[in-house]
Amino acid sequence: MKRVEWKVGERLREALVCAPANATTTARPLVFVFHGHGGTMRHASRSIGVHTHWPEAICVYPQGLNTPVKLTDPEGKKSGWQITAGEQNDRDLKFFDAMLKSLRADYKVDETRVYVTGHSNGGRFTQLLWAERGDVFAAVAPSGTTATALTKSFEPKPCLHIAGEKDELVKFAWQKQTMEAVRKLNGCESEGTPWDKEKTPAGVLYASKAGTPFVELVYPGGHTFPADGAARIVTFFKQHAKK
């Protein structure tokens, strides 16, 4: 794991990058992991440690900047990510673009296997990237977030949504609306089947004839990222590559 810096506009941005030794010569999956509001890249690398479950992938844990969030931090005293396109002069979308360009130059990226995930505010930025940079990704996995209006800007794509049924911050009912909107967008069947059923809880897979399935993974907790969340995300990502 190494710390990498990028100059984006007038700001110095940073991320932790974990790459396998042969990533400069052998095409490898690329996964972006965005922390929640008030989080850090180091905490994300531990709590959403995708690299520990997928050591063959290049895993990137970016660091957010102080960002206002209506629900919890209207003055913007804590780190986070832009919520909508145009906000903060698109500083985080520009940061993503700079990272992707640099990583493509430094490593041999498997362009059919680029993914993004994040929890809470990081989950919302995952959804914003889906809306604004969707052609980059093979699949997405937001957690603890809602984006019903933003779904109008999505192109159909395999999606795993993680939600806590007792989430009082980003209410489960709001997340349910988003999940239903994505299922409709993805052309999914109305009846679901168990997904990753050897685990508890099992997810619900809504298949799609277009190859853009949706998995709903609901935990009995609140606004927290589940302990096995990273492992479940890796399972889902491994199932989906760009055709």
Higher pLDDT, 118 or 197: 118
Owner of token pair 């192109």: 155
| Per-residue model confidence as pLDDT tens digits over 86-125 | 999 999 999 999 999 999 999 999 999 999 999 999 999 9
Choice between 127 and 75, residue whose per-residue pLDDT is larger: 127
In whole angstroms, give the CA distance from residue 228 to residue 135: 28
Cα gap 95→127, rounded to integer Å: 16
Task: Report the distance separating Cα 217 and Cα 45, nearest Å.
Answer: 21
Question: What is the pTM for the complete model shown?
Answer: 0.96
DSSP code of residue 198: T
* Cβ count near 111 (within 10 Å): 13
Angstrom distance (rounded) from CA 169 to CA 183: 23
pLDDT in tens, 43-80: 999 999 999 999 999 999 999 999 988 778 888 899 99
